[in-house]
Structure 1
Amino acid sequence: MKFELIFVPYPVIGHLRSTVEMAKLLVERETRLSISVIILPLLSVDDISTSAYISALVATSNDRLHYEVISCEDQTTTELHVENHIPRVKRAVAKLVDGYSSLPDSPRLAGVVVDMFCTSVIDVANEFGVPCYLFYTSNVGVLALGLHVQMLYDKKVYNATETDFEDSEALLDVPTLQKNGHVASVILYQINK
C-alpha cells in the first residue's frame, strides 16, 4: 500500500527550504511514501533566487515528491497570512485527494505535516480525517531551551518576573543541551488526535 503526506511550510524561504529537505529525506528512505508540499505565497519574495528556487522545485515535481504552489490573489498581513489561505489549502488538498482516486494503486492520505507557525491548518487535516503532525524547522537547541523553560514554568521552579534577572549573571542549566558536540534531531509531534 502507498501513502501520501502533505506538508505545509510557513511561507518564508528558510522554513520552505527545511521542509523541502525533510520531504526529500523521507521519500528517499520510504519507497511507499509520496509527499506533496503546498507552498503558500511567500511573505517576502524580494530576490530573484527565491523565485528561481520555487520554479526549480515545481520543475522537479514527480509522482513521489510534488510541489503545489498557491498563487497570491491578495496581500495580507503577516499575522493573518496563513489563515487567509486556509480555503486555498483545503482546495489544494481536495484536488490531491481527488487525483488519487483516478490513479491505479493510488496512495492513501496518511496525514498532514504543518510548520509550527501553521497550526491553523490543523483544521484542514481534521476535515479530511487524517492525523496532523507538527514540524519544527528551527534547530534542536532552541526547541530544547523552549521546552525546558516551559517545564520550569509549569513546575513553578522559579517565582520571578521578567525584570528579576535583567542584570543578573545567573546561569540556567538546560540538561538537554550538550556542552561538547552537536545534537541533531527531527521532531514530528501529532497534534490533532
Structure 2
Amino acid sequence: MTMKKLELVFIPTPAIGHFVSSVEFAKRLLLRDDRFSASFLVKAAAPHSVSVFLRPEVLGVKFIESHKFCVKDSIINQVLLPEPVSVVGLVVDTFTISMIDVATELGFPSYLFNTSGYLNPIPSNVLPSLLFDKDGGGYLCFLNLVRRFKETKAIINNSFEELESHAVKTLSELEDYINNKPIFTVGPLLDVLHGRQTQSSLRSAIRSNMRKL
C-alpha cells in the first residue's frame, strides 16, 4: 500500500524574492523529513487593465484575490486527485494571504511565511511611501493584509532570532494580535549558488502555473 505523502501547497507572490525564499524553505523541509512533498501554485498573467484609482501594489493584491476559485480548482484537480497525498497545509506570504480563505473552504490549516524577515526599529521616513498613502489605498490595503496574519495557524519567518531578536520578541508579546500562535524562525534561506537556475525555475513555474518539488 502506497503511503500518502504529507503535502504542503505553497502560494507565493509571483516575484523572484518571494519565490526563491519559498523554494529554499520547501527544499530544506523536504531534506529534513521525506514524509513531506511540496507543490507550488504560481499565477502567470498580469492584470488586463489598470485602474487609475488604485496604486499598482493595491491592484496586484486585488488581482491575486480574484483568483481564489482558480487556486481552489488547481488544488483539487492537480494536487489531490493525481496522487495519493494528504494536504496538511497551505503556505502563503503577505501578499497572497487572501488564499487562507481557500484553505478554510477545503478544511486545511494555513501558515504565513514571511519571505524577507522582520524589521527591527527603523525611521518612518525610510519606509515605502505607499504605506502612508491613504488616498490611493496603499495604507488600508497593507493594514488589511497584516490584520489577517492572526487567522493563520503559525507564522514562519525567513530570519533568525539573534539577528532580529527585538522584532521576534515584540511580535511574540502581541497576544491579542497573533492569538498566541507559534512563531518560527527558519532563516536565512538564500540561494546564493543557483540564482540563475532559480530564476529559470520561476519562469518555468509561471508558465505552467505549478511546479512540483
CA offsets 1:1-43 (integer angstroms, 9 cap, x no match): 42101001112211111111111111111111110011123xx
Q: Secondary structure of the residue that 1:99 maps to in structure 2?
A: coil
Contact preservation (8 Å) 1:140, 1:185: no
What letter corresponds to residue 98 of structure 2 in structure 1? S
**Corresponding residue for residue 69 of structure 2:** 87
1:26 to 2:29 alignment:
yes
TM-score (norm 1): 0.54
Which deviates more from structure 2 when the two are superposed, residues 120-129 or residues 78-87? 78-87
Q: Secondary structure of the residue that 1:135 maps to in structure 2?
A: strand
Q: Evaluate the alpha carbon distance shift between residue 13 and residue 128 of structure 1 in structure 2; reply closer, same or farther with a 3 A threshold.
A: same
Q: Evaluate the alpha carbon distance shift between residue 111 and residue 186 of structure 1 in structure 2; reply closer, same or farther with a 3 A threshold.
A: same
Larger Rg: 1
Which 5+ residue runs of structure 2 have no aligned equivalent? 51-58, 121-156, 158-163, 177-183, 188-213
1:10 to 2:37 alignment:
no
CA–CA distance in structure 2, aligned partners of residues 72 and 8 of structure 1: 16
Instruction: Please report how far the alpha carbon of residue 148 of structure 1 lies from its aligned counterpart in structure 2 after TM superposition.
Output: 6.1
Q: Secondary structure of the residue that 1:15 maps to in structure 2?
A: helix
Which 5+ residue runs of structure 1 have no aligned equivalent? 42-70, 101-105, 156-183, 188-193
Contact preservation (8 Å) 1:136, 1:186: no
Q: Secondary structure of the residue that 2:95 maps to in structure 1?
A: coil
More relative contact order, 1 or 2 (CA 8 Å, 6+ apart)? 2
Higher helix share: 2
Instruction: Please report how far the alpha carbon of residue 97 of structure 1 lies from its aligned counterpart in structure 2 after TM superposition.
Output: 1.1
Identical aligned pairs, as a percentage? 34
Contact preservation (8 Å) 2:61, 2:95: no
**Corresponding residue for residue 139 of structure 1:** 117
1:1-193 matches, within 5 Å, as 1=3, 2-41=5-44, 71=45, 74=48, 77-95=59-77, 96-100=79-83, 106-142=84-120, 185-186=185-186
Q: Secondary structure of the residue that 1:79 maps to in structure 2?
A: helix
CA offsets 1:167-189 (integer angstroms, 9 cap, x no match): xxxxxxxxxxxxxxxxx9339xx
Contact preservation (8 Å) 1:9, 1:15: yes
TM-score (norm 2): 0.50
Q: Secondary structure of the residue that 2:185 maps to in structure 1?
A: coil
CA–CA distance in structure 2, aligned partners of residues 78 and 35 of structure 1: 25
CA–CA distance in structure 1, aligned partners of residues 170 and 7 of structure 2: 35
